[in-house]
Amino acid sequence: MEELRKEPVTALLLLVNILVFLAVEFTGSSQNTMHMLDCGAAYTPMIIQNGEIYRLFTCMFLHFGIEHLANNMLVLFVLGSRLERVIGKIRFLLIYLLGGLLGNVISLYLELRTQEFAVSAGASGAVFAVMGAMIYVVIRNRGWLGDLSMKQILIMAAFSLYFGFTSTGVDNVAHVGGMVSGFLLAILLYHPSHGRKI
């Protein structure tokens, strides 16, 4: 808990995700697809035909069930606090939000190409963006980030992707898109030799 006081953005994101989940549960059920749509889950036909672009953002704070929430929040807690400490609060928030959004946009684009639509929600794209950013930061720091090595982060990324591809109902495109987006955003935002972190 002491760690979270030092990384306020990570703590805030954890809190927002948990509070949104509780609000969804109190007003219906996070396992009810229609209720999740009412709360802002992503669905390509509604985004394109109805112009409900906001769903690309709101879906990042919604989760299908407690296990879905717990998995994402655990990875965010482990990786987010470390990344925020190294790159600073504002850059970390930008990577989380923009990486998650870009992952969702890439997923939407592919759904338009395949015409296979599904209701989606979850912080996974943003969490994978954090993972992608960490890979770049570790490369820049000669294979280490605090107590994590490049090998540990790559194993975590590989297991996370493997779990997604071997599970049903997982938006793997958002995962991969988020990870690549996070890596590219870190290239743009992380310059360790330039002054102090913000």
* Residues marked as catalytic: 124, 175
What whole-number distance in Å separates Cα of residue 101 and Cα of residue 129? 10
Query: % helix / strand / coil in the chain, to the nearest 5?
Result: 75, 5, 25
CB 99 within 8 A of CB 128: yes
What whole-number distance in Å separates Cα of residue 165 and Cα of residue 177? 14
- Closest by CA to 14, choosing from 90, 82, 75, 57, is 75
